[in-house]
């Protein structure tokens, strides 16, 4: 007898399988099999079986449920001791012969050790053949569907992505076309499947269909998420438009995920399996595949170096909580080396828990990108997964505490990382922080959230604009080294005009990527003629520096808004403004006529600094980023002339 978990939960005997009916024993069995070999705590099993409404005598009810499950086992000749009672919970020991999930993970790990692409493809196909429908389809537990099913599905999709990459690298574009077509249609949220489909179409001579697929992906991303495609898809589109011959894509390394189920940190009870338990981490022997001569590779164009890890700008953050088994690196992330190292140390520090990590700074400065990149680097310390929750609604209004709590996951198996993005106050965040031992929160906000740090400890990383060299590297990462090398000084001038803001640089780079004939110098001159209005994209209104600044300004009180506009419109010197150099805020008490209009006190300046509109402060001078000053001047020379719209997008 063996258990099948990768689809309908069933008990198989040779070619025959008995599908279990949705019931509490079925939910209990699913929870134990998912954590095969681990001691699963009673508390976790109670949540898996009864979700948020456990009976008054939960432990006794769970014991009764175990007895019912053992009676089901007896019908199929399964030994009574298949479920072991251990201190604090229960355990089932499974191996690759008795549970398809263990066999799947072992095969995926075995694929890592083979020396040739054909055998690796064979092993991955055998692993994927174990899936026979949506996972846990006949399991009624809401908790397992919410917390475990997405992780299991992620394992399958990563293996499928890897298989398709291998087949494309082998030149088997026609053979893999139907697979990537089906995957791209079933999982439109995964850009890699779309990239694989577009590449397969183009490399089989179907250029028109490939371009139509690219347009469809761009329209869907814009309509549903308000974002642009990632850098790989943009580079692929550019290569197709130029008629370039694609080189062989590198097969992506997809590490096995099965270790999460047996690592000590991941166990629901915090315990370990008993000595002698069969380890699901052991790879299976690689089956021999028939030796077939590989096809000759197509002519390969000069390969571009991989983009350095860094940020063009923050990826879109969903307004609902989204768990991820792994956190992908932020495309083209550059700079922030010291902050990343410090955050990684804070997130991976030993101990039952740590205070929140706050990332603050001006709108468009790259706070979300830094949070996600840090999560990517530290994800191994969080077997419970990473969850992102946007703290503002699409109209820019803050999410209230009750609404945010409803979207938070219940604590599953293992320590977790919670990213609370675009927070507006300490009061909004405090009720959402994980308790000690559950995990760590990373909070991004334009405000410093000093009150949160005062009550809960933790650290604050206040972001400034990128250094000139970091901006230059970001342009190299997005535009490619060849294009920047043709106009190196123009690229540095472009970074200066963009004020070294990551958001501005991404918009400028996107404009250049979609206009391969446009020179960097010409783009710089065009942007400089009307800053920051031209730092926006015609086909994506949400990608706009003025819109981001306006949404941020609208969050200020009228008093703070007028004070900022007054400060930003003073000391205007035509032709000398440098967006790369924030200017000192003038001493308004000595400007004739100004002190009669508004009293810009130290308290107001401090509040503006906290909101990200001015930087530094006592004992150093306050200063305003020049890009913000230019934006304020365009709104009007005096606060009374300001007419703001109703921006629909938070910065």
* 459-481: pLDDT as tens digits: 889 898 899 999 999 999 888 88
Q: Does 63 have pLDDT greater than 50?
A: yes
Which among 440, 379, 438 has a CA at the least distance from the CA of 411? 438
- At residue 77, the pLDDT reads 86
Q: Does 41 have pLDDT greater than 70?
A: yes
Q: Does 288 have pLDDT greater than 50?
A: no
The sign of the torsion formed by the CA atoms of 200, 204, 207, 213 equals negative
Ordered alpha helix ranges (H), 498-582: 502-513, 520-528, 545-554, 558-568
Q: How many CB atoms lie under 10 A from the CB of residue 436?
A: 12
Distance, in Å, from the CA atom of 197 to the CA atom of 191, rounded to the nearest integer, reads: 10
Structure tokens at 640: 């009374």
Three-class HEC string of 16-70: EEEECCCCHHHHHHHHHHHCCCCCEEHHHHHHHHHCCCCCCCHHHHHHHHHHHHH
Distance, in Å, from the CA atom of 97 to the CA atom of 274, rounded to the nearest integer, reads: 19
Rg (CA), the chain: 28
pLDDT classification of 542: cutoffs 50, 70, 90: low
Q: Does 353 have pLDDT greater than 60?
A: no
Peptide bond into 294 cis (omega under 30): no
Three-class HEC string of 167-211: HHHCCCHHHHHHHHHHHHHHCCCCHHHHHHHHHHHHHCCCHHHHH
Region of 587 on the Ramachandran plot (φ > 0 left; ψ -120 to 50 alpha; else beta)? beta
- At residue 194, the pLDDT reads 92
Structure tokens at 422: 């675009």
Q: Does 581 have pLDDT greater than 50?
A: no
Distance, in Å, from the CA atom of 624 to the CA atom of 243, rounded to the nearest integer, reads: 46
Q: Report the predicted TM-score, pTM, of the whole model to 2 decimal places.
A: 0.48
- At residue 572, the pLDDT reads 34
pLDDT classification of 617: cutoffs 50, 70, 90: low
Q: Which residues does residue 18 pair with via DSSP β-bridges, in sequence order?
A: 11
Q: Which residues does residue 361 pair with via DSSP β-bridges, in sequence order?
A: 463
pLDDT classification of 351: cutoffs 50, 70, 90: low
Which among 219, 213, 144 has a CA at the least distance from the CA of 183? 213
Average pLDDT over residues 79-97: 90
Region of 128 on the Ramachandran plot (φ > 0 left; ψ -120 to 50 alpha; else beta)? alpha
Using one digit for the tens of pLDDT, what is the confidence trace for 320-350?
344 444 567 787 788 888 888 888 888 887 6
Which residues are CB-contacts of 579 (< 8 A; sequence separation ≥ 6)?
A: 496, 497, 498, 499, 500, 531, 625, 626, 627, 630
CA distances for 638 relative to 532, 570, 573, 585, 632, angstroms: 19, 10, 16, 16, 10
Which among 484, 419, 470, 475 has a CA at the least distance from the CA of 231? 475
């Amino acid at each position: 007898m063996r258990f099948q978990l990768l689809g309908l939960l069933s008990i198989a005997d040779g070619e025959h399988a008995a599908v279990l009916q949705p019931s509490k024993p079925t939910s209990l069995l699913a929870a134990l099999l998912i954590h095969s070999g681990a001691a699963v705590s009673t508390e976790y099993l109670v949540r898996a079986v009864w979700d948020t409404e456990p009976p008054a005598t939960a432990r006794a009810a769970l014991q009764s449920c175990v007895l019912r499950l053992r009676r089901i086992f007896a019908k199929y000749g399964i030994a009574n001791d298949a479920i072991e009672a251990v201190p604090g919970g229960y355990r089932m020991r499974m191996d690759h012969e008795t549970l398809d999930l263990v066999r799947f993970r072992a095969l995926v790990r075995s694929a890592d050790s083979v020396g040739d692409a054909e055998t690796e493809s064979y092993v991955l196909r055998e692993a994927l053949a174990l899936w026979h429908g949506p996972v846990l389809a006949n399991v009624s537990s809401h908790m397992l569907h919410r917390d475990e099913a997405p992780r299991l599905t992620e394992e399958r999709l990563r293996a499928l992505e890897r298989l398709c990459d291998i087949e494309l690298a082998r030149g088997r574009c026609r053979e893999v076309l139907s697979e990537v077509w089906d995957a791209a249609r079933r999982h439109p949220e995964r850009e890699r499947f779309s990239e694989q489909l577009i590449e397969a179409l183009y490399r089989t001579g179907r250029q028109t269909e490939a371009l139509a697929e690219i347009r469809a992906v761009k329209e869907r991303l814009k309509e549903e998420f308000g974002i642009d495609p990632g850098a790989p898809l943009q580079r692929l589109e550019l290569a197709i438009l130029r008629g370039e011959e694609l080189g062989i894509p590198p097969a992506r390394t997809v590490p096995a995920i099965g270790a999460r189920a047996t690592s000590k940190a991941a166990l629901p009870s915090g315990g370990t399996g008993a000595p002698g338990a069969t380890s699901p981490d052991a790879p299976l022997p690689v089956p021999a595949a028939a030796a077939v001569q590989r096809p000759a590779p197509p002519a390969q164009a000069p390969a571009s170096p991989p983009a350095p890890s860094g940020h063009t700008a923050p990826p879109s953050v969903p307004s609902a909580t989204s768990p991820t088994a792994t956190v992908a690196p932020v495309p083209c992330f550059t700079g922030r080396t010291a902050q990343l190292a410090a955050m990684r140390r804070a997130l991976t520090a030993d101990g039952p828990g740590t205070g929140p990590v706050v990332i603050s700074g001006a709108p468009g400065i790259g706070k979300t990108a830094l949070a996600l990149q840090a999560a990517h680097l530290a994800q191994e310390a969080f077997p419970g997964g990473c969850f992102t929750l946007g703290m503002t609604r699409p109209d820019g209004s803050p999410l209230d505490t009750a609404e945010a709590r409803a979207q938070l996951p219940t604590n599953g198996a293992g320590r977790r990382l919670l990213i609370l993005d675009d927070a507006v106050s300490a009061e909004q965040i405090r009720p959402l922080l994980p308790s000690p031992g559950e995990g760590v929160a990373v909070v991004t906000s334009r405000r410093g959230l000093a009150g949160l740090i005062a009550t809960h400890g933790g650290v604050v990383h206040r972001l400034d604009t990128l250094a000139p060299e970091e901006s230059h590297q970001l342009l190299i990462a997005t535009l490619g080294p060849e294009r920047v090398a043709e106009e190196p000084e123009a690229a540095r001038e472009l970074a200066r005009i963009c004020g070294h803001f990551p958001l501005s640089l991404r918009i400028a780079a996107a404009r250049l990527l979609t206009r391969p004939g446009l020179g960097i110098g010409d783009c710089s001159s065009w942007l400089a003629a009307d800053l920051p209005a031209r730092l926006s994209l015609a086909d994506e209104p949400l990608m706009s520096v003025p819109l981001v600044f306006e949404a941020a300004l609208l969050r200020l009180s009228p008093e703070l808004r007028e004070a900022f506009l007054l400060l930003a419109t003073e000391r205007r010197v035509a032709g000398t403004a440098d967006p790369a150099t924030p200017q000192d805020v003038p001493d308004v008490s000595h400007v004739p006529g100004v002190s009669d209009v508004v009293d810009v006190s130290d308290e107001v300046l401090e509040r503006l600094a906290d909101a990200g509109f001015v930087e530094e402060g006592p004992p150093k001078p306050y200063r305003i980023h020049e890009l913000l000053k230019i934006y304020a001047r365009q709104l009007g020379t005096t606060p009374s002339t300001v007419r703001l719209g109703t921006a629909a997008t938070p910065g």
